């Protein structure tokens, strides 16, 4: 078969591991010819191809990012975009297309599949907020990076008796904040699912510092907002899927904490550091399992499906089940586990 593959949306550690698994198993076991499309859906609309081979993919397993490049291009927001996708697939005689992406990329895949395109999906996002799959690769690496940053911030916070506010990614959900907050021993974890009361946050920090402690870590997800307030955005511009760029909530949180407690407070925005670098071993394994399952699903004709992780097994689910509704942070994890050790949840 001639199989096309693309990576769309924000990049994520583990993308290259999926590509390697698809290409290597496709070529060696099925005799497939796998062709990459550059820069997500843009490359399919424009017919921008990158021939792939097991040999080309031999050393990409530990590489962060994506050798194919990515973009947030949306064929359904582009004049004639969906027709251009179909025309390219026909012209290049692509029998099957594997779209690796998050909510946006997979929603396009779902729509194309409903219109008869032979496409299936592989979920990815560091935010870990796609429905049906218990985990997405990239999340584990982002949590590891954020936790290492928190560990570093703790030593300087303790030396200077400061509050350190750490802003992590998490547009709609606080998975990275919750995991990195628990792993890093944060005093407060502020997530999009639970609008926060800044007066209460300051009160808890005062009480915490009263207990023979003079430093605190406050982890805040970029999509967190105060009760009755709005998320903080960096610009009003929207991407092709209608998203604004978030960021800056840590400034508000840090200023309010310092003003209300008198504790010297500093902030760090981790930003894209969380998306870069080599994937952890866990993410390499999950991404590889998804890639293997995806090329098998191609040969079984599972159009409109996506690979998912459920009960530690790789299964297939309708791609539309993964999109449109963010998977929120597990209440038990936030309230019971984090709540027992940090002051914000519960």
| Closest distance of CB 140 from ligand F6P, Å | 14
State which residue, 49 or 67, has the beta carbon closest to ligand F6P. 67
State which residue, 162 or 171, has the beta carbon closest to ligand F6P. 171
State which residue, 26 or 170, has the beta carbon closest to ligand F6P. 170
- Judged by the rule CB under 6 A, the positions of this chain that interact with ligand F6P are 9-10, 102, 125-127, 169-171, 222, 245-246, 275
| Closest distance of CB 9 from ligand F6P, Å | 6
Question: In this structure, what DSSP letter does residue 56 have?
Answer: T
State which residue, 10 or 291, has the beta carbon closest to ligand F6P. 10
* CB-based closest residue to ligand F6P: 10
| Closest distance of CB 324 from ligand F6P, Å | 16
Q: How far is CA 105 from the centre of its chain?
A: 12
Q: Measuring CA to CA, which residue among 266, 252, 102, 120 is closest to residue 175?
A: 102
Q: State the Cα–Cα distance between residues 226 and 179, nearest whole angstrom.
A: 21
18: enclosing H helix or E strand:
helix 15-25
Determine how β-strand 244-246 pairs with β-strand 233-238: antiparallel
What DSSP assignment string belongs to 145-214? HHHHHHHHHHHHHHHHT-EEEEEE--SS--HHHHHHHHHTT-SEEE-TTS-B-HHHHHHHHHHHHHTT--
What DSSP assignment string belongs to 129-164? --SS-S--BTHHHHHHHHHHHHHHHHHHHHHHT-EE
| Closest distance of CB 175 from ligand F6P, Å | 10
State which residue, 126 or 150, has the beta carbon closest to ligand F6P. 126
Catalytic residue chosen out of the listed positions 11, 32, 103, 127: 127
State which residue, 88 or 144, has the beta carbon closest to ligand F6P. 144
From residue 11, how far is each of 68, 251, 272 by CA, in Å?
A: 10, 26, 10
Q: State the Cα–Cα distance between residues 189 and 245, nearest whole angstrom.
A: 21
265: enclosing H helix or E strand:
strand 265-269
| Closest distance of CB 72 from ligand F6P, Å | 6
| Closest distance of CB 125 from ligand F6P, Å | 5
Residue 68 CB neighbour total at 10 angstroms: 23
Does 127 qualify as catalytic in the annotation?
Answer: yes
With residues binned 3-state (H G I as helix, E B as strand, rest as coil), the percentages for the chain, rounded to 5, are 40, 20, 40
- Residues with a catalytic annotation lie at 127
């Amino acid at each position: 078969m001639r199989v096309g593959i693309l990576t769309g949306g924000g990049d994520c550690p583990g993308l290259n591991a999926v590509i390697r698994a698809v290409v290597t198993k496709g070529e060696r076991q099925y005799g497939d010819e796998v062709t990459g499309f550059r820069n997500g859906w843009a490359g399919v609309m424009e017919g921008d191809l990158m021939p792939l081979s097991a040999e080309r993919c031999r050393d990409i397993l530990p590489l962060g990012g994506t050798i194919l490049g990515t973009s947030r291009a949306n064929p359904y927001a582009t004049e004639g975009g969906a027709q251009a996708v179909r025309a390219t697939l026909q012209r290049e005689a692509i029998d099957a297309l594997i779209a690796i992406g998050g909510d946006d990329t997979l929603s396009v895949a779902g729509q194309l599949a409903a219109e008869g395109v032979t496409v299936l999906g592989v979920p990815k996002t560091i935010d870990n907020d796609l429905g049906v799959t218990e985990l997405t690769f990239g999340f584990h690496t982002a949590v590891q990076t954020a936790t290492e940053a928190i560990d570093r911030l703790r030593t300087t916070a303790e030396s200077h008796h400061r509050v350190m506010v750490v802003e992590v990614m998490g547009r709609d959900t606080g998975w990275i904040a919750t995991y990195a907050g628990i792993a890093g021993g944060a005093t407060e974890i502020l997530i999009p699912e639970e609008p926060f009361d800044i007066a209460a946050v300051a009160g808890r920090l005062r009480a915490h510092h009263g207990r023979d402690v003079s430093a605190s870590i406050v982890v805040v997800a970029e999509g967190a907002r105060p009760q009755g307030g709005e998320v903080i955005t960096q610009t009003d511009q929207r991407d092709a899927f209608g998203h604004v760029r978030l960021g800056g909530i840590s400034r508000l949180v840090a200023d309010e904490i310092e003003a209300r407690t008198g504790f010297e407070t500093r902030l760090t925005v981790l930003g894209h550091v969380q998306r870069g670098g080599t994937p952890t071993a866990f993410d390499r394994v999950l991404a590889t399992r998804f890639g293997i399952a995806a090329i098998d699903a191609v040969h079984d004709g599972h159009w409109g499906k996506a690979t998912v992780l459920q009960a530690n097994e790789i299964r297939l689910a309708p791609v539309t089940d993964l999109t449109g509704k963010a998977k929120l942070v597990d209440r038990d994890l936030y309230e019971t586990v984090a709540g027992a050790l940090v002051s914000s949840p519960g």
